[in-house]
Chains A and B, each alone.
Chain A
Amino acid sequence: MKFILNTGRTIRQGKYIENKLGQGYAEETSRCQIHPLDLLELGVEEGENVLVTSAIGEVVLMAVADEGLPKGMAFVSYGIHCNSIIAACTHGTGMPDYKIHEVEISPTSEDRKTPVELLEQLGGVRYAGN
Protein backbone atom coordinates (compact mmCIF):
# COMPACT_ATOMS: atom_id res chain seq x y z
CA MET A 1 0.00 0.00 0.00
CA LYS A 2 1.27 3.46 -0.83
CA PHE A 3 1.88 5.85 2.05
CA ILE A 4 3.46 9.20 2.67
CA LEU A 5 6.23 8.81 5.24
CA ASN A 6 6.47 11.63 7.77
CA THR A 7 9.38 11.66 10.23
CA GLY A 8 9.88 13.90 13.24
CA ARG A 9 10.81 14.34 16.87
CA THR A 10 9.05 12.63 19.76
CA ILE A 11 9.63 13.13 23.47
CA ARG A 12 10.80 9.52 23.85
CA GLN A 13 13.20 9.78 20.92
CA GLY A 14 14.59 12.97 22.46
CA LYS A 15 15.00 11.29 25.83
CA TYR A 16 16.75 8.23 24.40
CA ILE A 17 19.10 10.32 22.24
CA GLU A 18 21.44 10.33 25.22
CA ASN A 19 21.76 6.55 24.97
CA LYS A 20 21.48 5.58 21.31
CA LEU A 21 22.95 2.16 22.00
CA GLY A 22 20.14 1.29 24.37
CA GLN A 23 16.94 -0.68 24.02
CA GLY A 24 14.72 2.41 24.45
CA TYR A 25 16.16 4.20 21.42
CA ALA A 26 16.08 1.05 19.30
CA GLU A 27 12.43 0.51 20.21
CA GLU A 28 11.22 4.10 19.73
CA THR A 29 12.95 4.76 16.41
CA SER A 30 11.81 1.49 14.81
CA ARG A 31 8.10 2.06 15.34
CA CYS A 32 5.81 3.05 12.46
CA GLN A 33 2.60 4.84 13.40
CA ILE A 34 -0.33 4.16 11.04
CA HIS A 35 -4.06 4.98 11.19
CA PRO A 36 -6.11 1.98 12.47
CA LEU A 37 -8.23 1.89 9.29
CA ASP A 38 -5.09 1.72 7.18
CA LEU A 39 -3.82 -1.11 9.38
CA LEU A 40 -7.08 -2.95 8.68
CA GLU A 41 -6.60 -2.53 4.94
CA LEU A 42 -2.96 -3.63 5.23
CA GLY A 43 -4.00 -6.70 7.17
CA VAL A 44 -1.56 -5.83 9.92
CA GLU A 45 -2.26 -5.78 13.65
CA GLU A 46 -0.59 -3.40 16.06
CA GLY A 47 2.68 -4.96 17.19
CA GLU A 48 3.26 -6.84 13.96
CA ASN A 49 6.07 -5.84 11.63
CA VAL A 50 5.85 -4.02 8.33
CA LEU A 51 8.33 -3.58 5.51
CA VAL A 52 8.65 0.08 4.52
CA THR A 53 10.18 0.50 1.06
CA SER A 54 11.27 3.73 -0.59
CA ALA A 55 13.00 4.40 -3.89
CA ILE A 56 16.38 3.92 -2.25
CA GLY A 57 15.93 1.24 0.37
CA GLU A 58 13.79 -0.74 2.75
CA VAL A 59 13.55 -1.17 6.51
CA VAL A 60 11.51 -3.35 8.86
CA LEU A 61 9.49 -1.45 11.49
CA MET A 62 6.86 -2.36 14.05
CA ALA A 63 3.31 -1.14 13.31
CA VAL A 64 1.58 1.01 15.93
CA ALA A 65 -2.01 2.30 15.61
CA ASP A 66 -2.43 6.08 15.71
CA GLU A 67 -5.85 7.66 15.20
CA GLY A 68 -4.28 11.11 15.18
CA LEU A 69 -2.66 10.54 11.78
CA PRO A 70 -4.41 11.23 8.48
CA LYS A 71 -5.15 8.11 6.45
CA GLY A 72 -2.34 7.36 4.04
CA MET A 73 0.37 8.82 6.25
CA ALA A 74 2.89 6.87 8.30
CA PHE A 75 4.95 8.48 11.06
CA VAL A 76 8.38 7.32 12.26
CA SER A 77 10.45 9.19 14.85
CA TYR A 78 13.84 10.60 13.80
CA GLY A 79 16.52 7.96 13.85
CA ILE A 80 18.71 5.59 11.97
CA HIS A 81 15.79 3.46 10.73
CA CYS A 82 13.88 6.17 8.89
CA ASN A 83 17.06 7.90 7.71
CA SER A 84 18.19 4.69 6.05
CA ILE A 85 15.35 4.92 3.50
CA ILE A 86 15.14 8.67 2.92
CA ALA A 87 16.63 9.79 -0.39
CA ALA A 88 19.29 12.47 -0.71
CA CYS A 89 17.34 14.51 -3.29
CA THR A 90 16.44 17.96 -1.97
CA HIS A 91 14.71 19.39 -5.08
CA GLY A 92 17.19 22.26 -4.86
CA THR A 93 15.94 23.29 -1.40
CA GLY A 94 18.89 21.91 0.58
CA MET A 95 16.47 19.83 2.67
CA PRO A 96 15.65 16.17 1.97
CA ASP A 97 12.02 15.02 2.13
CA TYR A 98 12.16 14.05 5.81
CA LYS A 99 8.50 14.93 6.28
CA ILE A 100 6.93 13.85 3.00
CA HIS A 101 8.45 10.75 1.39
CA GLU A 102 6.66 8.25 -0.88
CA VAL A 103 6.87 4.71 0.45
CA GLU A 104 5.25 1.30 0.02
CA ILE A 105 4.23 -0.49 3.19
CA SER A 106 3.48 -4.22 3.38
CA PRO A 107 3.24 -6.84 6.12
CA THR A 108 6.41 -8.80 6.83
CA SER A 109 7.50 -11.63 9.05
CA GLU A 110 11.07 -10.35 9.19
CA ASP A 111 12.51 -9.04 12.45
CA ARG A 112 13.51 -5.45 13.06
CA LYS A 113 17.20 -4.65 13.13
CA THR A 114 18.75 -2.54 15.89
CA PRO A 115 20.27 0.88 15.08
CA VAL A 116 23.73 -0.64 15.62
CA GLU A 117 23.02 -3.42 13.11
CA LEU A 118 21.81 -0.90 10.51
CA LEU A 119 24.97 1.18 10.97
CA GLU A 120 27.14 -1.93 10.64
CA GLN A 121 25.40 -2.59 7.32
CA LEU A 122 26.56 0.87 6.25
CA GLY A 123 30.14 0.01 7.18
CA GLY A 124 30.21 1.13 10.80
CA VAL A 125 32.25 -0.66 13.46
CA ARG A 126 30.77 -1.36 16.88
CA TYR A 127 32.53 0.21 19.89
CA ALA A 128 32.33 -1.97 22.99
CA GLY A 129 34.02 0.34 25.45
CA ASN A 130 32.85 2.07 28.60
Chain B
Amino acid sequence: MQEIKDMVCPFCGCLCDDITLEVENDKIVSANNCCTIGNAKFLGGKNRLKTPIKKVDGAWVEISYDEAVETAVDMLLDADRPLLFGWSGTHGEAQCVGGPYERNSGRRH
Protein backbone atom coordinates (compact mmCIF):
# COMPACT_ATOMS: atom_id res chain seq x y z
CA MET B 1 0.00 0.00 0.00
CA GLN B 2 1.39 3.38 -1.04
CA GLU B 3 0.47 6.64 0.64
CA ILE B 4 0.54 9.83 -1.43
CA LYS B 5 0.44 13.08 0.52
CA ASP B 6 -0.37 16.60 -0.67
CA MET B 7 -2.20 15.39 -3.74
CA VAL B 8 -3.93 18.17 -5.70
CA CYS B 9 -7.60 17.61 -6.40
CA PRO B 10 -8.30 18.36 -10.09
CA PHE B 11 -12.04 18.93 -9.81
CA CYS B 12 -12.66 22.62 -9.20
CA GLY B 13 -10.92 25.96 -8.97
CA CYS B 14 -10.24 25.56 -5.24
CA LEU B 15 -7.38 23.22 -6.21
CA CYS B 16 -7.14 21.75 -2.71
CA ASP B 17 -3.59 20.45 -2.38
CA ASP B 18 -3.73 18.69 0.98
CA ILE B 19 -5.37 15.46 -0.09
CA THR B 20 -3.88 12.14 1.11
CA LEU B 21 -4.42 9.12 -1.11
CA GLU B 22 -3.78 5.42 -0.50
CA VAL B 23 -2.99 3.32 -3.55
CA GLU B 24 -3.06 -0.48 -3.78
CA ASN B 25 -2.46 -2.48 -6.96
CA ASP B 26 -2.62 0.69 -9.11
CA LYS B 27 -6.00 1.65 -7.68
CA ILE B 28 -6.87 4.47 -5.32
CA VAL B 29 -8.48 2.82 -2.31
CA SER B 30 -8.83 5.79 0.01
CA ALA B 31 -8.94 9.57 -0.22
CA ASN B 32 -8.57 11.69 2.91
CA ASN B 33 -9.50 15.36 3.35
CA CYS B 34 -11.59 15.76 0.22
CA CYS B 35 -15.03 17.29 0.01
CA THR B 36 -17.92 15.15 -1.26
CA ILE B 37 -17.06 16.01 -4.85
CA GLY B 38 -13.33 15.34 -4.40
CA ASN B 39 -14.16 11.91 -2.95
CA ALA B 40 -16.26 11.09 -5.98
CA LYS B 41 -13.47 12.31 -8.25
CA PHE B 42 -10.78 10.09 -6.70
CA LEU B 43 -12.84 7.07 -5.71
CA GLY B 44 -15.62 7.04 -8.29
CA GLY B 45 -15.53 6.60 -12.02
CA LYS B 46 -17.37 3.30 -12.41
CA ASN B 47 -18.32 4.21 -15.95
CA ARG B 48 -15.09 5.88 -16.89
CA LEU B 49 -13.88 5.04 -20.38
CA LYS B 50 -10.86 2.74 -20.23
CA THR B 51 -9.92 3.10 -23.89
CA PRO B 52 -10.74 5.63 -26.60
CA ILE B 53 -13.89 4.79 -28.55
CA LYS B 54 -14.94 5.70 -32.08
CA LYS B 55 -18.29 5.56 -33.83
CA VAL B 56 -18.10 3.17 -36.78
CA ASP B 57 -21.27 2.48 -38.80
CA GLY B 58 -23.42 3.96 -36.06
CA ALA B 59 -21.93 1.86 -33.24
CA TRP B 60 -19.10 2.45 -30.79
CA VAL B 61 -15.86 0.44 -31.13
CA GLU B 62 -12.79 0.52 -28.91
CA ILE B 63 -9.65 1.85 -30.57
CA SER B 64 -6.02 2.52 -29.63
CA TYR B 65 -4.73 5.93 -28.53
CA ASP B 66 -2.69 6.15 -31.74
CA GLU B 67 -5.79 5.60 -33.83
CA ALA B 68 -7.69 8.15 -31.71
CA VAL B 69 -5.02 10.79 -32.35
CA GLU B 70 -5.03 10.05 -36.09
CA THR B 71 -8.83 10.28 -36.20
CA ALA B 72 -8.78 13.63 -34.37
CA VAL B 73 -6.16 14.97 -36.79
CA ASP B 74 -8.23 13.86 -39.79
CA MET B 75 -11.39 15.44 -38.40
CA LEU B 76 -9.69 18.78 -37.79
CA LEU B 77 -8.04 18.79 -41.23
CA ASP B 78 -11.37 17.96 -42.92
CA ALA B 79 -13.40 20.52 -40.98
CA ASP B 80 -14.61 23.62 -42.82
CA ARG B 81 -15.81 25.32 -39.63
CA PRO B 82 -14.30 23.53 -36.62
CA LEU B 83 -16.02 24.01 -33.25
CA LEU B 84 -13.36 23.95 -30.56
CA PHE B 85 -15.12 23.72 -27.27
CA GLY B 86 -14.78 22.98 -23.61
CA TRP B 87 -11.80 24.98 -22.39
CA SER B 88 -11.69 27.98 -20.08
CA GLY B 89 -12.05 30.53 -22.87
CA THR B 90 -15.03 28.89 -24.61
CA HIS B 91 -17.67 31.36 -25.79
CA GLY B 92 -21.21 30.92 -24.56
CA GLU B 93 -22.55 30.45 -28.10
CA ALA B 94 -20.24 27.45 -28.55
CA GLN B 95 -21.45 26.08 -25.22
CA CYS B 96 -25.03 26.17 -26.50
CA VAL B 97 -24.08 24.02 -29.45
CA GLY B 98 -21.75 21.71 -27.55
CA GLY B 99 -23.57 21.85 -24.21
CA PRO B 100 -25.91 18.86 -24.47
CA TYR B 101 -23.03 16.69 -25.74
CA GLU B 102 -20.60 18.11 -23.16
CA ARG B 103 -22.97 17.19 -20.38
CA ASN B 104 -22.31 13.55 -20.98
CA SER B 105 -18.58 13.73 -21.52
CA GLY B 106 -17.15 16.47 -19.33
CA ARG B 107 -18.21 19.47 -17.37
CA ARG B 108 -18.63 23.21 -17.69
CA HIS B 109 -16.42 25.43 -15.51
The interface of chain A, by Cβ under 8 A from chain B, is 11, 14-22, 78-80, 83-84, 86-88, 90, 93-96, 115-116, 118-119, 122, 124-125, 127-130
Contacts and interface: CB of A to CB of B under 8 A. Distances in A.
A18 B45 contact: yes
B contact residues, range: 20 to 34
B60 A127 contact: yes
A94 B41 contact: no
B108 A78 contact: yes
3 smallest CB-CB distances across A and B, nearest first, come from A88-B96, A18-B44, A14-B37
Contacts of B81: none
B100 interface: yes
B107 A17 contact: yes
Contacts of A17: 37, 40, 107
B48 interface: yes
Contacts of A129: 49, 53, 60, 62
B88 interface: no
B93 A94 contact: yes
B45 A15 contact: no
A125 B101 contact: no
A79 B106 CA distance: 11
B47 to A, nearest CB: 5
B40 A18 contact: yes
Contacts of B48: 18, 130
Given A80-B104, A125-B59, A96 B95 contact: yes
B104 A115 contact: yes
Interface in B18-70: 35-37, 39-41, 44-50, 53, 55, 58-60, 62
